[in-house]
Chains A and B, each alone.
Chain A
Amino acid sequence: MTSPLLVLDGVSVAFGIPAATEVSYSVAAGEVVAVVGESGSGKTVTAMSLLGLLPGTASVTGRALLAGRDLFTLPAGELRAVRGGEVGMVFQEPMTALNPVFRIGDQLAEVVRAHRECTAAQAKQRTVELLALVGLPATARRKYPHEMSGGQLQRVVIAMAVANEPTLLIADEPTTALDVTVQAEILQLLRDLRGRLDAAVLLITHDMGVVADLADRVVVMHDGRVVEQGPVAEVFEAPRHEYTKRLLSAVVSLSTPPPADLPDATEVSPGVVARGEHVAVTEPTWSVPDVPGDDPVLTLAGLSVSYGRFRAVDDVSLHVSRGEVLGLVGESGSGKSSIAGAITGLTAIGGGVVSLAGKDLTRLRGRELKRARGRIGMVFQDPASSLNPRAKIARSIAQPLVLHGSLRGAELTAKVDELLDAVQLSTSLRERYPHELSGGQRQRVGIARAIALDPELLIADEPTSALDVSVQARILDLFRSLQTELRFACLFISHDLAVVERLADRVAVLHGGRVVELGPARDVLTEALHPYTRRLLAAAPVADPVLQRARREAWLALGHTE
């Protein structure tokens, strides 16, 4: 057996307080090792220390041997040669990893020429080769970063990382900022490259589905320490450490489809097929008509939202009944958030009707509009930005009550305590500031604020996607119990199909500003009618290596071209 390519031996990183303690793992040549952990687990800090990319305040001890040389004691000049030479790096956010004022080709050529002497013609030649390697046409050379999509940019970043044929590729959350269908393509590319270049990959991620899809071995980190490591199949099959068990059980995965035993969908009107209440369009420019429901709280009829010439939402009709959760699924740019904005009044409506409990919000003005707004609660994606950093928790929660109610003084205090209690937070947090709370606690505060006025409609815009896996599961549980108790109508927006499956009664799938499919959650997410929904479902990785391999093959068979 050959000696490993990269060996971390007792690596500790501290910024005053320890961020990673005694971390040891190794990566063999050509192997994909995934380091998983939640935020603050020290997984990124450890990997960044390898390339000397930590700020000057960090103190690093231990040894990190790359092909026998200790990276921590290497002189600056040699370390620079290692960076981008023997070790390539793929970042989380491709848009910020590229310089916006230079063409793709020039940026790639610069990377090529940084590490070897070559003429401009040779560099250009190599650039074309690299673009072909990551599945981009040679014409991409002439483009600027803003002219490309997130997935294409990540391909460019990967091309840069492999430009000098590195023996090790470090990928820090390479697909977190991408849509699920794009994520599947990037993962496929990484798998492909690893086979062709024989490079080892150190994959840093929080997504168990990505691990199951790509990795050979997995290193689980928690609170700066490695708690468990081993082959992916073994760790997922029989986790030994308590934390790994907790992490794996918290993962929200799509349920596996039951054996198909359903009648075929029939064409109910031109361009629309249906199977009971489950409808989908077959015409590319159509939107599914709304299925009328009883006692609708929110009704959207022919809603359109435009930004300049771009139609973000095109003729969308939906309703949410009292006590019902409607899941709104789609990728970035599908119009989910524009619909939320149109309902809450943050986005101007181009056409159509938004009515809440029978009243057309677009026609209300002044006092009546304000009263109607008070009946809508909203939970935001990022709990860090949805709370005023300079306001105490009690004030943030009391804000809707102060704006709309007549509660003051002791009554207000009592109501705030009651709300804190409802979201299972200690009332001792009332005098704290948001930065003193964890992400999950902040999101609970956001939920408390949203339900303060006992809303008829609650809009939740990706309420768990900024949270760690274990926190996400608990917030979803809280959400469900509140919904059963308070019986509000809920529009639940998410790109994560598994999360939607857990909460929603019905699901609407958005694609390019139109509803392409609508129906009961179980039917839509297991027996999709629309090809886009099927692609979406196939692309979502599940946290089970064996199952994921089968899903991956199904996804490849489906063809994944946009």
Chain B
Amino acid sequence: MSEHVGAPARSVGAAIRAMLRRDHWALAGAVTIVVLGIAAVAADLLTAIEGQDPYSYSTGALNPETGGPAGVLGGVSGAHWFGVEPLTGRDLFAIVVHGARTSFLIGLAATAVSVLVGVLIGAGAGYLGGWYDRVVTWTADVFLGFPYLVFMIALGAVVPSSVSRPLLLILVIGFFGWPSIARIVRSQVLTLKKRNFVSAARILGASPWQVFRSELLPNLWAPVIVLGTLSIPGKIGLEAALSFLGVGIPPPTPSWGRAISTAVDWVSTDPMFLFFPGVALFLATWAFTVFGDGLRDALDPKTDVRR
């Protein structure tokens, strides 16, 4: 008879380190995330080294006849590493690295909101059961089928501009992310609840909160980290999509989505304007996805693949 310990018992940290040593794709993802993360955090420093900032207009870098950038490849030069924006002459490198800051801030903070709400609601539904569980499951189903993009666009138009847009985006995107997290957490808790160590705590008179904190939560970290990481690219993409549609981050704050939206009009004359923010968005979503996939392989024994 083999003895099965349901959850992988090694620590989450050790599992991630082992995964990064073994799984080269996940390692590439992690490196990309770190590089983009450093660019986002040190955006001011990097643009200072370049000698630019994302807000100053510089008509000198433009071709006076077309309004497009002067020079080849969208105006790439020692002064403007990624070239400049058509019509304004703003530095594209500064826009991309500051845009990374916006994307990461919203992607990570919105994920934190989803995870927090999702874990609390999902664990409560799984553990307490009864009518609370039915209400949560029903609400989650409604939310999953909800046309949230339309809702967000409408909300962007209705909410007064005095409300901070990044904060609004974080709350709205984060809030719409809870059902998928809550569903998985609920099902995990339903299986954990039947394990005897949870019964042991209940028999001793532990309150639901004590059971959640000391028995359930340590066993939920692995799936929650995987789910959270895999949902970041979707949230970065959603922010870009909203900015693309003009209801996301308002100008002049740099945003990849808005830069891409503007660049679409210039794609025939200045393709590099689309290239740099587009590649940045692609790299960010790709990196979080492969890293999240690696995490799932490392932390979830059910999808154990051998590479």
Contact = CB atoms under 8 A, between A and B. Distances in A.
Given A385-B6, A386-B197, A434-B9, A373 B204 contact: yes
Given A369-B205, A378-B203, A400-B204, A390 B218 contact: yes
Interface string B156-197: 000000000000000000000000000000000000000111
B65 interface: no
Contact of B219 (A176, A388, A404): A388
B17 interface: no
B93 to A, nearest CB: 45
Given A388-B219, A403-B206, A380 B9 contact: no
Given A385-B195, A390-B7, A39 B1 contact: yes
Interface string B1-40: 1111111010000000000000000000000000000000
A368 to B, nearest CB: 10
B253 interface: no
Interface residues of B, number: 25
A550 B272 CA distance: 92
Interface string A284-324: 00000000000000000000000000000000000000000
A387 B205 contact: no
A389 B200 contact: no
A373 B206 CA distance: 10
B9 A399 contact: no
B202 A386 contact: no
B7 A399 contact: no
Contact of A399 (B2, B4, B196, B214): B214
B199 interface: yes
Contacts, number: 83
A462 B269 CA distance: 78
A370 B205 CA distance: 5
B199 A435 contact: no
A76 interface: no
Given A385-B195, A386-B196, A433 B9 contact: yes
B152 interface: no
B215 interface: yes
Interface string A356-397: 000000000000011101101010111011111111000010
Contacts of B6: 385, 389
B58 interface: no
Nearest to B199: A346
Interface in A170-185: 173, 176
Interface string A396-414: 1001100110000000000
A378 B201 CA distance: 10
Contacts of A173: 1
Contacts of A92: 1
Contacts of A386: 195-197, 199-200
Contacts of B5: 384, 389, 434-435
Given A206-B1, A384-B5, A391 B204 contact: no
Interface in B68-83: none
Contacts of A370: 205
B139 interface: no
Contacts of A278: none
B170 to A, nearest CB: 30
A369 B204 CA distance: 10
A390 B9 contact: yes
A18 interface: no
Nearest to A395: B214
Nearest to B4: A384
Contacts of A390: 7, 9, 218-219, 221
A371 B204 CA distance: 9
Given A386-B197, A439-B3, 16 more contacts: A39-B1, A92-B1, A173-B1, A345-B202, A378-B200, A378-B203, A380-B199, A385-B6, A385-B196, A388-B215, A389-B5, A389-B9, A391-B197, A400-B204, A403-B201, A404-B205
22 contacts: A344-B199, A370-B205, A371-B205, A373-B204, A374-B204, A376-B203, A378-B200, A384-B3, A385-B195, A386-B199, A388-B215, A389-B7, A391-B197, A391-B215, A396-B197, A399-B214, A400-B204, A403-B206, A404-B205, A434-B5, A435-B5, A435-B9
Q: What are the 3 tightest A-B residue pairs by CB atom distance, in nearest-first order?
A: A370-B205, A386-B196, A390-B218
Interface of B: 1-7, 9, 195-197, 199-206, 210, 214-215, 218-219, 221
Interface of A: 39, 92, 173, 176, 206, 344-346, 369-371, 373-374, 376, 378, 380-382, 384-391, 396, 399-400, 403-404, 433-435, 439, 449
